[in-house]
Structure 1
């Protein structure tokens, strides 16, 4: 991995010749100034004085010290310095080379040349130092000059602070793999890559795009990573690597959208903030890369179409692409075609990997020819030879030539197979079998549990085999106890198991693996799901499986294994393993519901339903339809969800499956509330579900049904009834330690408290819900709660706070593709912009919300938004249009039974009547609003109705009545803590009615 700069402990290597430590004064020298600047930047200076007197091999120790640091600073005068023995370079230039190879940020400060420079600062032979200064100038660095101690300290300090080493943001993200232990040759290719970086003109777009192509094992990735590491210091912001799997046996190439997801996650984006679709992700990727100095390695590409969306297209980015194919239609790229290593370089590579081979140069030349001059084959063969100290190269050659298996350049498979055969034959028979079966895994990574299932062995034996294969360089360890095969090794194992193991053995191994994943995913899903599945087929319990005891462990396992689960599901799908498709999809349900993408989830659940039909698994089909319906209503397709749920309910009735019926009825109640605002119908469905859950003593189902029932009662204004059922649900969730349910119930209770006018109580409940949602990393719960907190801030007059929260909610909804949440947040943001008198913005936001609500066929939301659009029209003087929209909205709200929003709209219509010169009509409408608001406990709307009555009475000349109403409104507004109180207080002051003790009693 790349060198990260640790906050508060970054080490700065200071390179200089001894004269820089003596001038202008020993106690106030240029080196002293540099050290002072490093200390002032709160970094750790590493000066050559620390090791100058070291015995042994000072050159090697010097290089070690450079590599151990995080930043390289050179203070260069006009002396070249001491020469490293047996070389022609000085220690100072050696340090610069080490810093370059290590990818450190390099800061170079040059002493200005002046006629009055002391002799002690001048080299007798100026050619060497002039050459070094010229090489520094050609390295593409920003060179800063100085002439005084104070100027040097100033320049060093500011250059270091510009690196942001102590900003608290941590090191720049670096996902580059470690460079190859030994890299030999490829000088021409490296020069071409480096030249385009150092010679790039500012503002010319990307620094460069290089497409490196050649056969497998030729060293494309090694060259790309080596070049990236060599140039890393020039790209301090991002150094990212992604495997596009263009030619990975048994796998489809990585979709550009998925690759963009990997890049965005590496750049720090939360996975659940990912937008849908390659175009949106590509735009976000380009936006995040804008202005960055970044390096991007796109490894194993399939085509230009796969690569093009990943190109940042911004100034300051270097892109290195590797592919087996020449991407000729990527015209903006420089193409590098790698050939086999020349014999001298191939031999040098082997000898540097195994130094004891240097004593047999002729044998080494023969060996690398047998290896076909292929870097991968040479590396693997060298590893085997290094681990056998008693072998000679002749012994190794004899092994390679068993059965005439010669490694030649012709035929990549033969070349690689021979190298792999050597490692394979030295494995014990049990490990050979284990190794072969690993290649059957459909996914990219494997852990000991999955390996134990695949090989039908114990967990300890699986872990031991994996460790030894890792030590033999046949596996890579991508994370603790997680392993990955190189693509060519995977192809080799496929070939081996096909010839060594019968189809029955292979099929049984894969079935054990899929059973393991289905079993463990099912357990994880049950710990995190909204409801449980009941499958007809009981999956064989694996001998070993990870302990998933709670929500956190289950979610962590699902996230880590997500790619493997999807790969296994794909494997089962293309082989028409119907029951495995149904079961594996069911195990992914909770993860897909929480984290999406929901369109992908819909495709998978539809496929599961189709496969269930093929095996007449009616219960599996009903469960899949229920899960499919959830993805439809999450994406706003309420009618589609309603249709699917009714199909599922029919199946559950035919099967006499009560639990399934309750699940379907609960979701139908939710959809009924959303699709037509049929709140009475929704309540009936939810009551039926609740009766079944209670009869089955299914506590989690009861809590879910009660929560949805609370939502219905909230929307119909039955606050007392809503609080009753929500508190009951919350009690059950607490008893079950179901934190997601607790968050949902608390959120809904907070919404009820808000509408009832208890704003402090509402905020406390919403903050509890938000804390739980964040702990659970539940994106939708966070979005909904942040949205509701924003609405609460609007009511209390904190318009800036409201806008900030609502914009956060909008980001979450867009990332989730939650169109209903998006519509609601847009509408509320439009109201905030209207209240702050930004009427064009308000109009635009409300129109967007209205369009979304209508597309979703959501009459309640559409009517609510239309009412506020009418208010905007009135505020901008278009009373006719405003009245028309308000009247339409009022009628629609009455039809859907949204009493709280109806009263709000009624108050708006009444205010419009008064503003239009009809205070008597306004008075009558406000009186109607007051009666309902007071009866149902809508305290804010009660206050607004009283205010309207007072203002209408004042217009009619009834000052006493106006004063009475306004004083009651003021009392309510002040109790609620809302900004309307100030307006009413002003209106009362303007009326200034006489008090009884101030009346005229006829006295003078």
Structure 2
């Protein structure tokens, strides 16, 4: 933030712009600024500010002092930093990174993820002394203590990383100073003892413990904590006993890349136990993640703490061609590892296990149990002595094992995967670029796959990375096979150990259309009940063959999905499974759609007893959105036209509601293709209606009229309700294009058909269209009558989601008639209902009307703020007309607020948008706005703009606007003549 605004609290409060310091005012003003900064981008009430800044001694003026201080603070801030007054209080809006506390926390987070001491140093360098030094008040004193503790935490983490890297002598001077400065902080004392001891200064290490213990006892009356005592005991043991014992840890390969955080957590957890039991660490995850390599690396790191030996047993839980190692054989191996001769081994298995626990009672051993099949194979092998440690690896989640740390190993990070490839194949072969990124993606960031790919490149110097990628795309699992193992064989062992139900589910999941799935969709694929399906899915997660990114959702790793598809070729029920899944989606999507849109209500299928309840809110559709889109595409690709059409009809309005316009285009294209291919004229009419109706609001009326006309032709003879919806939308669209068109006849017919079908929703919709077009003709009394009639009917139906659009229309009528107060009430109610039901489109218009009401009432700052919020929502909606309307309103409020240049920017944007889409009404409105901006300074230029605006609407697009422009031009001409 060197080039922008900075507010620094990690020391004396300073305010600067770039490198130029700004005055922060007297101490009490600084205190208020600090409080606001600590609550940045949050509303703080005046009462809170008074309490936090003045504590128990507020000034006699009480709350009246707050605005004065706020005004003074505003004077010190640059324009891009807003200190705003809201209905709830005050909010200081800081740009990202402006506050040094935020920069510190971001830097610490990056350091934690990277385990990089230098990043911790960068973070700590932001402290310029005592945080908030010199500022009064109990609140700021508490924040000072909090920030000091955060600094010490980061400092301790950094020093811990230095010690882990073996830089013992380097950190002794710094730790010595810290211990002298903070003699009661046991963290730094323990770290200094470790650094001194490992540097050969053993007497000083023990002296540090004695001195710290004496201070704790004398000043606080307490003994040192477990952490400091554990370090002391470890030093004493290392002094008393020479290292020795058997080392069975295997060779872990020449390359071990990444896993820094995981390695540190395992090493930390393997510290000799202080809880009366040995530390037990379990590492689990899917095949090929490098669990054994991580375990061996961690074992090497802690070997010195277990001088009586490091024992390693491969339990062969998932070894191709081998049965798991029996407990008897494993115990025998462990007993021989600690020197018990074969002739002394009892015959009885229980006695052998007892002997194992007895012989390890006084030893310091590290036992690595690799490739464990399950918890039952591990329990008899656990020693009882807290001086021992156990490290277990397994493909299964050993959730029933009483472990001090369970580490679910994940895929390599992208940078770690790239580093591994570079190490294996050479930097000259694996230069950064798209081909390497694709190779990492094809290998799924799985270490086993990356090692095989790297080996291929190393031994085939003529192969470019792109060539290997081409081979992988053609036959992924076959290519990722080594001489002795490979990805496919590793997965095959896990698959073969599954039960019949688990294998069936594993295979069928390859057919899921999207990335993830829930238990209901999985049940439809596998032909099970949802309860059984959930149990099977959870068991596949336990077996590390399935991921669970969040509760209730399941997905494959990419390579496992490839393997699942490979074994699915042996299942001849794939087509039936897909059909069952699509039928499930049609049932539930229809039921969900009936509760969140009214564009095309149709009979809902009866849900099966096992289907989920999707009637309450949009949660189901939100969770399944990507799957529903993929299901439509799958349905069309597989030739299920009879399912593609109803599924598209149910899904499309939801995607419009959630402003997923690209996905909406995809499903409508697929649905229309299916309808046309199957000769489903009614379905094609419905889909053309959806595309045309939604299209006119997205891109303007000209973009929907052709689809709506074709839909009307196809719907002739179909259900009256369908015809009513189509004709209603068509009438509104042609009326929006030309008020001299036949829109009244179309809307009257739409209303007749709706009443014939007794479809009250269609009636409400058509009444709304009639009202909107009468309002455009300035017939506000007629328009309001239609709106009131539609609103009354909507409330009779009891569906609040129908109300916001109608209330918005009423607000617009009142505003155009100059009646701000009833408009304000209608817009506020529309805003509340739209927000309650998450209706983004009506919310944008409600805020536009609310802001215009504020403007007409003279509340100009509120008008600008409200119109900015409307524009944010409109842009997020990706709907062209919403954006045009919001920018026009924002331009008007900015101009009224004397922000002429900003207003002109908004009108210029609207002009470009409308010219691109050939929307004459928007062009005219933008030109009128530009004329308003220039009228006082450039009257001649304003006159030309008004003439252009008149030309844009002179063909019946908006007769009322054309008439008003003619009157305005005539008055201007008359004024100049006079």
TM-score, L = length of structure 1: 0.54
Q: Deviations over 1:342-389 (max 9, x none)?
A: 987675679999xx9x999575398899699xxxxxx99835244544
CA-based RMSD of the aligned residues comes to 5.4
- The offset of 1:628, in angstroms, is 1.6
Answer 1 or 2: higher relative contact order, Cα 8 Å, separation at least 6. 1
Alpha-carbon separation, structure 2, partners of 1:766 and 1:490: 51
2:646 paired with 1:586: no
Q: Deviations over 1:377-432 (max 9, x none)?
A: xx998352445448999xx99x99xxxxx999796466344444444444432333
1:493 alignment partner in structure 2: 564
* Cα contact 2:316–2:373 (8 A) shared by 1: no
Partner SS state of residue 785, structure 1: helix
Structure 1 counterpart of 2:580, from 512, 537, 544: 512
Q: What are the equivalent positions in structure 2 for 1:588-667 lying under 5 Å apart?
A: 588-653=651-716, 655-667=717-729
In structure 2, the CA distance between the partners of 1:681 and 1:94, relative to structure 1 (3 Å rule), is closer
* Cα contact 1:770–1:782 (8 A) shared by 2: yes
Q: What are the equivalent positions in structure 2 for 1:901-980 lying under 5 Å apart?
A: 901-902=961-962, 904-905=964-965, 908-909=968-969, 911-913=971-973, 915-918=975-978
2:623 alignment partner in structure 1: 560
Alpha-carbon separation, structure 2, partners of 1:421 and 1:547: 37
2:825 alignment partner in structure 1: 764
Alpha-carbon separation, structure 2, partners of 1:701 and 1:612: 24
Partner SS state of residue 314, structure 2: helix
Structure 2 counterpart of 1:460, from 510, 518, 531: 531
1:96 alignment partner in structure 2: 160
In structure 2, the CA distance between the partners of 1:727 and 1:878, relative to structure 1 (3 Å rule), is closer
* Cα contact 1:476–1:483 (8 A) shared by 2: yes
Q: Deviations over 1:155-213 (max 9, x none)?
A: xxxxxxxxxxxxxxxxxxxxxxxxxxx9x9799765xxxxxxxxxxxxxxxxxxxxxxx
- The offset of 1:533, in angstroms, is 5.6
2:509 alignment partner in structure 1: 438
Structure 2 counterpart of 1:716, from 758, 777, 792: 777
* Cα contact 1:860–1:893 (8 A) shared by 2: yes
Partner SS state of residue 478, structure 1: strand
In structure 2, the CA distance between the partners of 1:389 and 1:788, relative to structure 1 (3 Å rule), is same
Q: What are the equivalent positions in structure 2 for 1:515-594 lying under 5 Å apart?
A: 515-532=583-600, 542-550=608-616, 552=617, 555-594=618-657
1:364 alignment partner in structure 2: 314
Q: Deviations over 1:847-893 (max 9, x none)?
A: 332333343333333333333433444312333x4334435545765
Q: What are the equivalent positions in structure 2 for 1:853-932 lying under 5 Å apart?
A: 853-879=914-940, 881-887=941-947, 889-890=949-950, 895-896=955-956, 898=958, 901-902=961-962, 904-905=964-965, 908-909=968-969, 911-913=971-973, 915-918=975-978
* Unmatched segments (≥5 aa) in structure 1: 13-29, 48-68, 77-91, 102-107, 134-181, 191-221, 231-338, 373-378, 401-405, 919-1004
Alpha-carbon separation, structure 2, partners of 1:380 and 1:497: 34
- The offset of 1:822, in angstroms, is 2.5
Alpha-carbon separation, structure 2, partners of 1:857 and 1:120: 75
Structure 2 counterpart of 1:821, from 858, 863, 882: 882
* Cα contact 2:851–2:863 (8 A) shared by 1: yes
* Cα contact 1:436–1:493 (8 A) shared by 2: yes
* Cα contact 1:790–1:801 (8 A) shared by 2: yes
Q: Deviations over 1:778-811 (max 9, x none)?
A: 2222211112222223323333322222232222
* Cα contact 2:312–2:370 (8 A) shared by 1: no
Bigger mean CA offset, 578-587 vs 700-709:
578-587
Q: What are the equivalent positions in structure 2 for 1:16-55 lying under 5 Å apart?
A: 42=142
2:373 alignment partner in structure 1: 384
2:752 alignment partner in structure 1: 691
In structure 2, the CA distance between the partners of 1:94 and 1:917, relative to structure 1 (3 Å rule), is closer
1:703 alignment partner in structure 2: 764
In structure 2, the CA distance between the partners of 1:613 and 1:900, relative to structure 1 (3 Å rule), is closer
- The offset of 1:605, in angstroms, is 0.9
Aligned pairs, number: 636
Structure 2 counterpart of 1:809, from 870, 875, 889: 870
* Cα contact 1:707–1:729 (8 A) shared by 2: yes
Alpha-carbon separation, structure 2, partners of 1:517 and 1:864: 45
* Cα contact 1:626–1:644 (8 A) shared by 2: yes
1:294 alignment partner in structure 2: none
1:670 alignment partner in structure 2: 732
* Cα contact 1:700–1:733 (8 A) shared by 2: yes
Bigger mean CA offset, 586-595 vs 817-826:
817-826
Partner SS state of residue 896, structure 1: coil
* Cα contact 2:636–2:671 (8 A) shared by 1: no
2:441 alignment partner in structure 1: none
- The offset of 1:608, in angstroms, is 1.3
Q: Deviations over 1:817-845 (max 9, x none)?
A: 32223233333333344445554544443
* Cα contact 2:844–2:873 (8 A) shared by 1: yes
- The offset of 1:685, in angstroms, is 1.7
In structure 2, the CA distance between the partners of 1:865 and 1:360, relative to structure 1 (3 Å rule), is closer
Partner SS state of residue 742, structure 2: helix
Q: What are the equivalent positions in structure 2 for 1:153-552 lying under 5 Å apart?
A: 223=259, 226=262, 364=314, 382=371, 384-389=373-378, 412=480, 415-499=486-570, 501-502=571-572, 505-532=573-600, 542-550=608-616, 552=617
In structure 2, the CA distance between the partners of 1:747 and 1:612, relative to structure 1 (3 Å rule), is same
* Unmatched segments (≥5 aa) in structure 2: 1-37, 43-51, 53-104, 109-129, 166-171, 200-248, 267-287, 323-367, 383-391, 397-447, 453-477
In structure 2, the CA distance between the partners of 1:858 and 1:380, relative to structure 1 (3 Å rule), is farther
* Cα contact 1:638–1:675 (8 A) shared by 2: yes
2:847 alignment partner in structure 1: 786
Structure 2 counterpart of 1:73, from 128, 152, 155: 152
* Cα contact 2:721–2:753 (8 A) shared by 1: yes
* Cα contact 1:420–1:492 (8 A) shared by 2: yes
Alpha-carbon separation, structure 1, partners of 2:264 and 2:975: 70
In structure 2, the CA distance between the partners of 1:421 and 1:727, relative to structure 1 (3 Å rule), is same
Alpha-carbon separation, structure 2, partners of 1:615 and 1:651: 14
Partner SS state of residue 528, structure 1: coil
Partner SS state of residue 549, structure 2: strand
Partner SS state of residue 477, structure 1: strand
Alpha-carbon separation, structure 1, partners of 2:802 and 2:936: 42
Alpha-carbon separation, structure 2, partners of 1:907 and 1:792: 25
Partner SS state of residue 876, structure 1: coil
* Cα contact 2:739–2:959 (8 A) shared by 1: no
